[in-house]
Amino acid sequence: MLTAPSEEIYIRDEPIQVIEEIQALEGNFRAIKALPEEAQRIIFCESSNMEDALNENLNEDGSAWSRDYGYWQINDYYHEEKASGMGLDIKNPGDNIKYGEWLYQTEGSKAWSASQQCWSDSTLKIN
């Protein structure tokens, strides 16, 4: 388990609770590691395991018609309403993991078919 001093660190005059941040990251890491290997590969290929990964899907005029958020790169256009109805916020890293896991368990990997060439590569090392 990671531990850190219980001091506040100030960046731009805003306090950041170091222990809470570390505990949240540690919890997210454990939740991802508990997923099936294929799901872990999808997360790695979609977001490089970055909780704040963001991708904008653009119209021809350059305006965003949707955004993909977080570890699983959950698309807001297709999934935000369903996630919200489940009490989850796809922009929140912990909720992103929960919704992505639910989506993976109910629909398999089809939501991530665009990145299949990456996550189906048997030589991909994610650990």
Whether 94 maps to a domain, the answer reads yes
Question: What confidence tens digit (pLDDT) does each residue in 21-75 have?
Answer: 888 889 999 999 999 999 999 999 999 999 999 999 999 999 999 999 999 999 9
Q: Does residue 25 sit in the same domain as residue 84?
A: no
Is residue 67 located within the same domain as residue 80? yes
Give kind and range of the element (H or E) at residue 20. helix 18-33
- What pLDDT score does 125 carry? 77
Looking at the 3D structure of the chain, how many domains does it have?
A: 2
Residues 86-109: pLDDT tens digits?
Answer: 999 999 999 999 999 999 999 999
Q: How far apart are CA 124 and CA 6, in angstroms?
A: 38
CATH code, 44? 1.10.530.10
Q: Strands 64-69 and 8-11, how do they pair?
A: unpaired
Phi-psi region of 49 (alpha: psi -120 to 50; beta: other; left: phi over 0): left
Residues 76 and 42 occupy one common structural domain: yes
16 and 44 in a single domain? The answer is no
Domain holding 3, by residue range, is 1-34
125 occurs within a structural domain: no
- How many Å apart are CA 52 and CA 55, to the nearest integer? 10
Q: What is the pTM of this model?
A: 0.81
1 band by pLDDT with thresholds 50, 70 and 90? very low
Judgement on whether residues 108 and 50 belong to the same structural domain of the protein: yes
